């Protein structure tokens, strides 16, 4: 086969539109990354968890460190379904299918077609080719176990018997089809025949270099095992029709460079680290997101997988921060992989055969992806090395669970063990132990011993109650539900000793305040039938946390185009032209609508977009949004309609409003978000032209927009922006200068000011609850909850975190008084005290 020299073409996928807008990031500073946990996956591979300071807080980063020099370690790309591309799967299913013992997601891919942007090579065959996108690299390992990160190029031609040739766009990809020839071989799942939007096309079925048949607008019945299908559209179809005939031979020549002796290759994204230094990114995806990356050490002995979590408990990372963290861990060369909702890490735990999901998904569910990296052990079954006791990191009082015995062999792989005859004993009254079933009885440490014919093990198990807990999270920042909707809460406790784990919801007592609903033993929440706003409080052993709840959604208009909004147009690439202005030509209501005109006629890029931008900062909404509603007057263009929404953390959410604008006249679009978005900002609405599916579509068009709304609920009782003045020993209070009588003025004891809670909190818009049995004061205000106990300085629970204080509520003259400064400052207010005058105002 002749060597063909590559010339790259530019392609930008819809999934990475953000790459047009680079942002210079900052490195994180302060404390060094902290290693939280480490465990062995197999000999030569460990899984580590780090806590890393970022500009947005603290990120959970999981690092899989793999010794390529271990003779029983193997890495390989895992892809498709049943060994064929064309159908994507979640990483856990990919790993199960291939028998991997750990896996991460891989290459970026086009969200419309599902095709990877980069190449895949495995088992001595190129499964799919590079896309020719500038700035992208690939990751591969040679047969000598040497990892490499470098760009890949592709050239190919199909040559007819008459000597005429035509370039091949790609092999086993559906990204770029219009006016091109593409090749699909036996590595492609024919069930996903990518021509639904192409209009007319021609294909030739080739077996052993001979054309079996020519088909017009018809899917082949099969792809020959020793052949392929030539798919042509537009100019590609004309080449087939004019030059290729059934019964004649054709020649397929292609070259992928570099053509090293690869064990496997997988597409990647922008290089992050080179020679131990952070590089200038060829493509940046700014903001704090879940991230996946791969790198290797200077001596090429170790490969590192990086999985950055973006969840309630993890801030995500910028690419700059990720690169710097990789360098800290000894990465000499590193490259970015697909992130965001694709980020997934699965791994088995020591002694286990089943895979566990390690990272919390950025979205509600795991995203199906076209490929990933799998870790495999080729070691034979070895002799017994050690037993492992499978026990929770700590046990709660009244929690009931089972202890298990597992074994690993000399290669740190799981080994079958007969645990039936194991005898479990303890001499502690902190637990009840019957067989291998254990229940926590009281706080403390319980020594546990297990004996069998093969093993004797001892370990300490911490039993935690209220005094051992430092924080409690219910697993959701907020709940925005329609009546009858369901959601799940997964309580997570952290002990003062630093142990963290998910704990059973059935150990908690649950209280609905302001709204109604139910919660099952497994943590399933069912919203009640009545709309409203309030809180759901979960309490374990007098330690509580809260999640704000809003039930019932309704549209609240964000943009009606009536008040001369700041609108502007952006075309990507720059050859896309158009306008975004107000119009009086047609509207749903009022005088104006928004008119988005676009012209794709001069653009040649494979992905084009016409953006209607809402000023420099977008249009902001204060509250939770469950979905988005808007009216669109379509132009029957069949283009893709999307929106960009920024959440309060600065992360961009890409929302599909319509897969196709296949209507004319006005139509209301109603889109649910996978997760409620807090304080969203609508940045842009845009029309997308995928060149590969643009055949028969107009180059120009116009759509109108009106009554853009976020679907939300009535707001939580919020803190009021008021200024309060109170006076020591005076029964009066000024609320924004207006006098209000109170029956108990502030008092001062030992330099601390105290006052009945109800006066302050109700003036600020909050609620106060008193539990006479516990002598507990509960304060609820917006997204804040504080629990305090009379004369108890050791327990002040602020939003699920225990913050011991040097003051506490007191009882004087049969009245319960709260410390003014401690409470209000934890609610976001500041307190000034001057000559007996107390002023409370927003920070």
Mean pLDDT confidence for 649-657? 81
DSSP per-residue string spanning 84-130:
BBSS-B-HHHHHHHHT-SEEEE---B-TTT--BSS-EEETTEEEE--
Reported confidence tier of residue 477, pLDDT bands at 50, 70, 90: confident
Domain match, 427 and 499 both: no
pLDDT digits (tens, 9 = 90+) for 258-270: 988 999 999 999 9
Percentages (nearest 5) of helix, strand, coil residues in the chain: 5, 50, 45
Residue 3 falls inside a structural domain: no
Domain match, 25 and 131 both: yes
DSSP per-residue string spanning 779-843:
EEETTEEEEEETTEEEEEEETTEE---S---EEETTEEEEEHHHHHHHTTEEEEEETTEEEEEE-
Where residue 810 sits, what CATH number does that domain have?
Answer: 3.30.457.10
Reported confidence tier of residue 542, pLDDT bands at 50, 70, 90: very high
Residue 159, SS3? strand
Domain match, 486 and 451 both: no
Residue 247: both structure tokens together: 């019964």
pLDDT digits (tens, 9 = 90+) for 722-731: 899 999 999 9
Distance, CA of 432 to CA of 163 (rounded, Å): 84
HEC string of 364-419? Answer: CCCCCECEEEEEEECCCCCCEEEEEEECCCCEEECCEEECEEEEEECCCCEECCCC
Query: 25 pLDDT exceeds 70?
Result: no
Query: 13 pLDDT exceeds 50?
Result: no
Query: 71 pLDDT exceeds 80?
Result: yes
Domain match, 63 and 118 both: yes
DSSP per-residue string spanning 607-629:
EEEEEEE-TTT-EE--SEEEEEE
Domain match, 474 and 457 both: no
**% of residues, the chain, pLDDT over 90:** 70
pLDDT digits (tens, 9 = 90+) for 87-113: 999 999 999 999 999 999 999 988 767
Residue 10 falls inside a structural domain: no
Query: 530 pLDDT exceeds 70?
Result: yes
Q: Which residue among 684, 712, 740 closes a domain?
A: 712
Residue 383 falls inside a structural domain: no
Query: 182 pLDDT exceeds 60?
Result: yes
Residue 581 falls inside a structural domain: yes
Domain match, 104 and 237 both: no
Tell me, rounded to whole angstroms, the distance of Cα 340 from its chain centroid: 5
Domain match, 140 and 68 both: yes
Beta bridge partners of 120: 128, 266
Residue 15 falls inside a structural domain: no
Mean pLDDT confidence for 701-727? 83
Query: 654 pLDDT exceeds 80?
Result: yes
pLDDT digits (tens, 9 = 90+) for 367-386: 999 999 999 999 999 998 98
Query: 29 pLDDT exceeds 50?
Result: no
Please state the pTM of the whole predicted model: 0.73
The residue assigned the tokens 């074994």 is 407
Residue 287: both structure tokens together: 């903001």
pLDDT of residue 9: 27
pLDDT of residue 24: 34
Residue 4 falls inside a structural domain: no
Query: 715 pLDDT exceeds 70?
Result: no
| Mean pLDDT of all residues belonging to the chain | 90
Domain match, 446 and 302 both: no
Q: Which residue among 464, 487, 513 closes a domain?
A: 464
pLDDT of residue 4: 28
Q: Which residue among 552, 567, 594 closes a domain?
A: 552
pLDDT of residue 8: 28
Where residue 513 sits, what CATH number does that domain have?
Answer: 2.60.40.10
pLDDT digits (tens, 9 = 90+) for 596-645: 999 999 988 777 899 999 998 999 988 788 889 999 999 999 899 999 99
Domain match, 301 and 353 both: yes
Q: Provide the residue range defining the domain that includes 392.
A: 388-464
Domain match, 617 and 702 both: yes
Where residue 425 sits, what CATH number does that domain have?
Answer: 2.60.40.3440
Domain match, 542 and 599 both: no
pLDDT digits (tens, 9 = 90+) for 312-340: 779 999 999 999 999 999 999 999 999 98
Residue 5 falls inside a structural domain: no
Q: Is 420 exposed, middle or buried (0-12, 13-18, 19+ CB in 10 A)?
A: exposed
Domain match, 230 and 368 both: no
More confident residue, 841 or 607: 841
Q: Domain total for the chain?
A: 6
More confident residue, 773 or 30: 773
Reported confidence tier of residue 485, pLDDT bands at 50, 70, 90: confident
pLDDT of residue 555: 80
């Amino acid at each position: 086969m002749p060597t063909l020299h590559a010339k790259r073409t530019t392609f930008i996928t819809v999934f990475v539109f953000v790459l047009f807008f680079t942002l210079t990031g900052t490195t994180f500073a302060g404390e060094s990354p902290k290693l939280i946990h480490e465990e062995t996956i197999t000999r030569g591979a460990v899984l580590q968890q780090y806590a890393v300071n970022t500009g947005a807080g603290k990120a959970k980063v999981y690092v899989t460190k793999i010794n390529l020099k271990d003779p029983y370690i193997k890495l390989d790309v895992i892809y498709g379904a049943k060994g064929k591309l064309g159908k994507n799967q979640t990483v856990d299913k990919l790993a199960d299918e291939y028998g991997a013992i750990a896996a991460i997601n891989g290459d970026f891919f086009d969200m419309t077609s599902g095709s990877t942007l980069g190449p895949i090579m495995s088992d001595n065959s190129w499964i799919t080719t590079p896309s020719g996108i500038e700035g992208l690299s690939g990751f591969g390992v040679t047969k000598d176990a040497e990892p490499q990160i470098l760009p890949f190029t592709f050239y190919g031609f199909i040559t007819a018997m008459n000597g005429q040739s035509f370039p091949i766009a790609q092999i086993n990809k559906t990204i770029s089809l219009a006016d091109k020839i593409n090749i699909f071989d036996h590595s492609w799942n024919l069930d996903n025949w990518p021509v639904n939007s192409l209009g007319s096309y021609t294909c030739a079925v080739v077996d052993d270099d001979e054309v079996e048949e020519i088909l017009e607008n018809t899917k082949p019945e099969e792809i020959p095992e020793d052949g392929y299908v030539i798919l042509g559209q537009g100019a590609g179809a004309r080449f087939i029709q004019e030059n290729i005939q059934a019964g004649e031979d054709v020649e397929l020549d292609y070259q992928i460079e570099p053509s090293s002796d690869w064990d496997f290759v997988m597409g990647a994204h922008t290089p992050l680290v080179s020679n131990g230094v952070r590089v200038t990114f060829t493509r940046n995806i700014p903001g704090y997101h879940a991230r996946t990356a791969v790198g290797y050490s200077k001596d090429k002995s170790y490969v590192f997988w990086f999985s950055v979590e973006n969840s309630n408990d993890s801030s995500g990372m910028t690419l700059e921060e990720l690169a710097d963290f990789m360098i800290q861990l000894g990465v000499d060369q590193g490259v970015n992989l697909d992130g965001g909702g694709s980020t997934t890490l699965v791994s088995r735990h020591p002694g286990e055969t089943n895979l566990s999901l390690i990272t919390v998904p950025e979205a509600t569910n795991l995203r199906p992806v076209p490929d990933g990296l799998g870790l495999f052990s080729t070691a034979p079954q070895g002799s017994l090395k050690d037993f492992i006791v499978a026990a929770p990191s700590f046990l709660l009082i009244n929690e009931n669970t089972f202890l298990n015995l597992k074994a690993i062999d000399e290669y740190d792989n799981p080994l079958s063990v007969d645990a039936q005859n194991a005898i479990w004993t303890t001499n502690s009254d902190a637990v009840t132990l019957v067989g291998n079933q254990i229940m926590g009885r009281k706080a403390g440490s319980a020594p546990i011993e297990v004996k069998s014919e093969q093993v004797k093990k001892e370990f300490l198990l911490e039993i935690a109650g209220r005094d051992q807990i430092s924080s409690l999270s219910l697993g959701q920042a907020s709940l925005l539900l329609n009546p009858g909707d369901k959601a799940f809460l997964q309580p997570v406790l952290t002990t003062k000793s630093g142990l963290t784990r998910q704990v059973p919801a059935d150990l908690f007592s649950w209280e609905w305040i302001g709204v109604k609903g139910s919660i099952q033993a497994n943590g399933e929440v069912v919203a009640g039938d009545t709309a409203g706003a309030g809180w759901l409080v979960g309490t374990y052993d007098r330690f509580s946390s809260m999640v704000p709840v809003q039930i019932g959604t309704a549209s609240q208009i964000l943009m009606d185009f009536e008040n001369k909004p700041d609108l502007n147009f952006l075309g990507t690439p720059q050859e896309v032209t158009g306008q975004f202005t107000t119009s009086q030509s047609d509207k749903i209501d009022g005088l104006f609508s928004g008119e988005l005109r676009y012209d794709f006629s001069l653009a040649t890029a494979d992905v084009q977009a016409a953006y209607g931008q809402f000023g420099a900062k977008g249009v902001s909404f204060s509250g939770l949004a469950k979905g988005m509603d808007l009216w669109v007057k379509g132009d029957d263009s069949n283009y893709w309609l999307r929106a960009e929404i920024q959440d309060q953390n600065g992360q961009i959410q890409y929302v599909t409003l319509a897969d196709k604008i296949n209507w004319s006249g006005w139509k209301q679009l109603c889109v649910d978000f996978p997760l409620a978005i807090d304080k969203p900002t609508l940045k842009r609405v845009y029309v997308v032209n995928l060149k590969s599916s643009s055949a028969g579509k107009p180059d120009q068009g116009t759509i109108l927009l009106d009554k853009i709304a976020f679907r939300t609920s009535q707001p939580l009782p919020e803190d009021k922006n008021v200024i309060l003045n109170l006076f020591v020993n005076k029964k009066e209070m000024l609320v924004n200068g207006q006098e209000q009588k109170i029956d108990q003025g502030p008092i001062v004891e030992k330099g601390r000011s105290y006052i009945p809670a109800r006066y302050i909190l109700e003036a600020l818009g909050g609620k106060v609850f008193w539990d006479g049995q516990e002598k507990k004061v509960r304060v609820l205000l917006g997204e804040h909850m504080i629990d305090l106990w009379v004369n108890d300085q050791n327990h002040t629970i602020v939003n699920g975190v225990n913050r011991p204080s040097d003051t506490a509520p007191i009882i004087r003259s049969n009245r319960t008084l709260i410390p003014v400064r401690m409470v209000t400052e934890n609610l976001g207010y500041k307190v000034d005290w001057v000559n007996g005058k107390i002023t409370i105002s927003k920070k």
